[in-house]
Structure 1
Amino acid sequence: MTPMHTATGRQRRPLVPRPAEPAAPQPPQDPPIYREMMRTWADRGRTLPGRHDPEWVELAAPQVVRGQFSEPQGPPHDGR
């Protein structure tokens, strides 16, 4: 057995290798039929999951009416 300290009193640590870190799991590949469908939709200019869609951004944007968030400009309204 190897002594854990030397004659000078300093302790030595036994060399123990670090455990290997597990590799990150890889996401499953899409089935070929799904990849082909995505390619066909992209060729036709259709919306695809997970991709930026400018038309959807425009449609989903809140509609702001002039004066909705500030005092209207012009003469004061008398309520009639």
Structure 2
Amino acid sequence: METVTRLRHAQRRILKVQRRLWLAQIAMWPTLVVTGVAAVAGVVFLLRRRSAGGRHELPESPGAHRVETVAEHDGQVTHDVSPT
């Protein structure tokens, strides 16, 4: 009789542990999803913030942003900004 009681208590302990593991596994998935979404949002935020610093607006007149390089007779190179 005592052996049967021990087995019953062991089964209850095993079921309790299994139930806790099952609940932990169920709670893990939403945590992983939220963590993944937050990581992707953070990377997108950092990439957008970094790339926004290098942007500039083009001038209204076409060709005004062109820089032409002119080599002078003494070997010096100058940049001539032409408003064409």
Q: Which has the higher contact order (CA 8 A, sep 6+)?
A: 2
Q: Same fold (TM over 0.5)?
A: no
Q: Whose strand fraction is larger, Structure 1's or Structure 2's?
A: 2
Question: TM-score of the superposition, structure 2-length normalised?
Answer: 0.28
